[in-house]
Structure 1
Amino acid sequence: MVVHSETYPERGAEEVPAEFREAVRAMAAAVLRPEIFCEEMPAPQRIAPHSSALTADVTVDDLELGTGRIILLHDPAGNDAWDGTFRCVAYARAEIDPELITDPLLGEVGWSWLTEALGAHGAAFTAASGTVTRVASESFGQMSDDEGTAQIEIRASWTPVAADGDGALDITPHVEAWGELLCTAAGLPPLPPGVTAIPSRRGQRGVGV
């Protein structure tokens, strides 16, 4: 996949910190399931001095089941709200069974998809926050024959930290956990134990920083 980074317009490319460059390369190294088509997207330029972003769609048999994005923010000076110098911001949206929209546990379950994915991939983190939103649509009048639809939207952010507490920060497992979140929200069954995802060629096009 291609991953580009953004800096504040007034800053030169030569000022991009080496640790951010390495983090962007780690984003591109993430292995995602073949149902995920992932590519770069413009990153926000006013939230942090440096940022990089990916967008993805989950598609099975030409049917789009879910979509999402992940943004990596970096402020070398640190950010008190982040409790660190990096921050991951993620979004996932997927169609769900309309009958699930009234389930009082849907929010907790949706949030657990993220935290469990981070844990399963060994993505150490702190200061996590976010929301889980359910959206239902009904049709009326000349559209009354259309079936109702429902979606779940997960918005989250967290501060990635080194897995061993003192080593180098690795962003790869955080991106892979986001990919798993997309697939879980879209209703894809988990891969059997011991089976490694083979990434789609569409989402692997080299690295650009």
Structure 2
Amino acid sequence: MVVRQPTGEQSAAPGEFRAAVAAMRAAPLRPEVFCEEMPAPQRIAPHAAALSADVTVDGVDVGTGRIILLHDPAGNDAWDGTFRCVAYCRCEVELELVADPMLAEVGWSWLVDALEAHGAEHTHASGTVTRVVTESFGGMAEDGGTAQVEVRASWTPVVGPAGLDIAPHVEAWGELLCTASGLEPVPDGVAVLPSRRGQRGSPGR
């Protein structure tokens, strides 16, 4: 179910990173987002934690993604900080949209707008938006074509006087997933219920 680092590694991690990971796990996401922990890459930074998610509507997965929190207590010149968020999102789109020259720019705006909407202060954002088209031939010709858009991004979260508030960044990632998957925005004033966590079919934590 949940992938955890060995206890020794957890205890060796700095307190600010452990606090950020706890807040990362607890960040509220929309109920359409099924979220769980996943193994984090171990060679990019001394400390890392990751979440993966699927966006499900009426029992059908319409989007998927992951977010990784990296931490280097010594700092990283490329990040201009000690923390770095790395995010990925992939969803299906209408085949006709792939030909739209504005699709990549719109895809990037989904992330920028989500970060701004959730007050996720950050610097040094960078990334790519990729259009993927699959066409079928021969015995599969009747299946037609499919199209997907992928957003890969990273940014440096701003650490305030009270430490790193990672929750807005995770919430922005969740909104990116939902927007890319075609879900309507939650109206202002409407509370967002917690997403499902852990194993599919199991009670929420």
Shared fold, TM over 0.5: yes
Does residue 1:194 correspond to 2:170, yes or no? Answer: no
**What SS is found at the alignment partner of 2:143?**
coil
1:116-153 CA-to-partner distances (Å, cap 9, x unmatched) read: 00010010000000000000111111111112100000
Structure 2 counterparts to residues 31-46 of structure 1, below 5 A: 31-46=28-43
Structure 2 counterparts to residues 174-189 of structure 1, below 5 A: 174-189=169-184
* Aligned CA-pair RMSD: 2.0
What is the letter of the counterpart of residue 166 of structure 2? I
Between 95-104 and 14-23, the greater mean CA deviation after superposition: 14-23
1:155 aligns with 152
Does residue 1:80 correspond to 2:77, yes or no? Answer: yes
Between 13-22 and 28-37, the greater mean CA deviation after superposition: 13-22
1:18-74 CA-to-partner distances (Å, cap 9, x unmatched) read: 000010011012100000000000011110000000000000111110000000000
Query: Does the 8 Å contact 2:84/2:157 carry over to 1?
Result: yes
CA offset at residue 3 of structure 1? 7.3
1:49-104 CA-to-partner distances (Å, cap 9, x unmatched) read: 00000000000111110000000000000000001000000000000000000111
Percent of residue pairs bearing the same amino acid type: 70
CA distance in 2, matches of 1:188, 1:3: 29
Structure 2 counterparts to residues 1-209 of structure 1, below 5 A: 4=4, 12-162=9-159, 165-202=160-197, 206=205
**What SS is found at the alignment partner of 1:144?**
helix
CA offset at residue 205 of structure 1? 5.1
Aligned length: 201
CA offset at residue 12 of structure 1? 4.7
CA distance in 2, matches of 1:139, 1:114: 31
Query: Does the 8 Å contact 2:35/2:196 carry over to 1?
Result: no
For normalisation by structure 1, the TM-score amounts to: 0.90
Query: Does the 8 Å contact 1:93/1:151 carry over to 2?
Result: yes
**What SS is found at the alignment partner of 1:178?**
helix
Query: Does the 8 Å contact 2:30/2:192 carry over to 1?
Result: yes
Q: Unaligned 5+ residue runs, structure 1? A: none
CA distance in 1, matches of 2:51, 2:91: 17
For normalisation by structure 2, the TM-score amounts to: 0.92
